[in-house]
Amino acid sequence: MSSGDAQPSPSRCDFAVVGGGIVGLAVARELTHRHPRMSVCVLEREGELGTHQTSHNSGVVHAGVYYTPGSLKARLCVEGARELYAYCAERAIAVEACGKVILATRPDELGRLEELQRRAAANGVTSVQRIDAAGIEAIEPHARGIAGLHVPSTGIVEFGALARAYARDVLDAGGTISTGCGVQGMAIGAKALRVTHARGVTEAGHAIVCAGAWSDRLAIAAGADPDPRIVPFRGAYLRLAPPRRSLVRALIYPVPDPSLPFLGVHLTRRIDGEVLIGPTALIAGARDAYALTRMRGRDVRDTLAWPGTWRLIGRFWRTGLSELHRAALRAALVRAAARYVPELRPGDVEPAFAGVRAQALGRDGRLIDDFVFSATPRALHVRNAPSPGATSSLAIARHVVGEAERAFGLREGGPPSRA
């Protein structure tokens, strides 16, 4: 994805968007639409756009079943999914509302399944249906469970393709996108922010920082509360060997552990026909730990120095050990998925890829579930946008730009405020 590598970074702009992932590009797109007279530039550190979470995920358009009613996640996911389907239809981007099943395999999961159905209704996710064992088999012939939920509006898409389309919209609207442009610091001046980056300096009226796994660093350097911090969680996937893809028609999910913001090991058909199994969820030694063994001194030090990490480990060491087991042993990950698809065998799978979740962790050891945004002078920071952040990208962008307008006194369509 290299829509912007030829573009130099501007010396001045009204709005700088830091981070060319799906959230940053959606925000830049929203800015150019709502403020056509403002100059907008995206500054992305990597040589290409969307190389981190945007292109290392399950590719699932979430419907909004899981999230606490009234939370930003609940609202922005439901709105974002609706907008995403409409956008894909308009732009001829491949997307499929293939539906998913959430399966209970033990009686102690039935209460949580009921709670999910209640949440879905409260969040406005319509047509979710309770199904029994026979209903499960009718939808997913190789899956087993004692009860389940069928969510027809869940879908699949390649989020990288969506991000590329957002980038084209930004360029078509006159915005600039500069890659290879890692932002090192933002200093507040009388009339602008002095954004220092790998290609020099950009004087920006305001900035919106959408830096994913690195979002806490720029926010804290700009004077934001150090709480929460990003702790990277590596999520590795396996894929079904092509002759075994018929084991999964669409999307098969477990009933998630309510104390964790992760959805558990699932089986997901992708828009290209591949079937993934995963992801694992293991604290990583680097914010770009695509290889299990990758360690970066600063990332490890930041994780270990954060009191929240130790509180989290104290509470979840058992879960951590079983995640370690799944990460180290392919057979353990296959066994977790075989709870839902009993025919699955270790010989049916091959290694796929890994993604790294940018997960905010509070000082108190709480994994922050909701999306979090915070402001510093002339800048707004996206501090936590984990799953379903890609599904919600258009709605997050609308919300963030609205927050920026309020915080910086901008009027829609009006001239930039550089005073």
The answer, yes or no, to whether the previous bond of 279 is cis (omega within 30 of 0) is yes
Point out which residues pair with 356 in neighbouring strands.
234
| Closest approach of ligand FAD to the CB of residue 308, in Å | 19
- Pick 147 or 374: Cβ nearer ligand FAD: 374
Contact string 209-248 vs ligand FAD (x = CB under 6 A):
-xxxxx---x----------------x-------------
What is the total count of residues that contact ligand FAD (CB under 6 A)?
42
Point out which residues pair with 278 in neighbouring strands.
266
Stretch that binds ligand FAD, among 15-23, 132-140, 249-257, 336-344 (CB under 6 A): 15-23
Applying the rule CB under 6 A, the residues between 181 and 200 that interact with ligand FAD are 182-183
Strand runs (DSSP E) across 200-284, as ranges?
Answer: 200-209, 229-240, 251-254, 266-269, 275-278, 282-283
Contact string 17-56 vs ligand FAD (x = CB under 6 A):
-xxxxxxx------------------xxxx---xxxxx-x
**Whose CA is closest to 244, among 136, 145, 336, 343?**
343
**Residue from 58, 123, 303, 374 in contact with ligand FAD (CB under 6 A):** 58
**Residue from 340, 391, 399, 410 in contact with ligand FAD (CB under 6 A):** 391
- Pick 147 or 265: Cβ nearer ligand FAD: 265
Q: List alpha helices for 72-207, DSSP H.
A: 72-91, 110-122, 133-139, 159-172
**Phi/psi of residue 144, nearest 5 degrees:** -135, 145
> Are the C-beta atoms of residues 326 and 333 closer than 8 Å to each other?
yes
Burial class of residue 375 in the structure, from the number of CB atoms within 10 Å of its CB (0-12 exposed, 13-18 middle, 19+ buried): middle
| Closest approach of ligand FAD to the CB of residue 59, in Å | 6
Q: List alpha helices for 1-71, DSSP H.
A: 22-34
**Residue from 231, 390, 397, 404 in contact with ligand FAD (CB under 6 A):** 390
Token output for 357: 């979740």
- Pick 50 or 205: Cβ nearer ligand FAD: 50
**Interface with ligand FAD (CB under 6 A):** 18-24, 43-46, 50-54, 56-60, 62, 182-183, 210-214, 218, 235, 279, 355-357, 385-391
